[in-house]
Amino acid sequence: MDVFPYSVITQATLDQLSQLNPSAHFDVRRFRMNLVLHTSGTGFTENAWVGRGLSIGDGVELSVTMPTPRCVMVTLPQTNLPPDLQVLKSLVHYNRLDIMGPGCFPVQVFIPVWKPKG
């Protein structure tokens, strides 16, 4: 479900998933995110960002609104990536959050709006 103009994943999340299920291939291209951030945190750090602001450089502030529900798209083959059902199975098993009432989904985070700082 791509309903917001920006979505974020951290390298920490990809690393955590790789540690939890080394047999799956958690290549960032599978997730189709606009921003891939390298943080000092470990694990699913972006889960704690919902409802908070995120500054990018000196000129942009983003509002993190909700977790990103993940679907079967992350399992499909892509250029130089074979199909991998373990990717979604791992997200379902290790990183499910309640998304505004409809239920629990495997997630990253969505950013619906951005504004210039200042």
Answer yes or no: are the C-beta atoms of 62 and 53 closer than 8 Å: yes
- Six token digits for residue 103: 């239920």
The residue ranges of every structural domain in the chain are 6-116
Dump pLDDT digits (tens) for 15-44. 999 999 999 999 999 988 888 999 888 999
pLDDT at 72 over 90: no
Of the two residues 70 and 9, the one the predictor is more confident about is 9
How many angstroms separate the Cα of 111 from the Cα of each of 1, 9, 29? 13, 11, 18
**How far, in whole angstroms, is CA 20 from its chain's centroid?**
16
Q: Give the span between the Cα atoms of 12 and 44, in whole angstroms.
A: 7
Query: Could you say which DSSP state residue 13 is in?
Result: H
pLDDT at 100 over 70: no
Rounded mean pLDDT, 62-91: 87
- Six token digits for residue 48: 């704690």
pTM: 0.79
Q: What is the pLDDT of residue 21?
A: 96
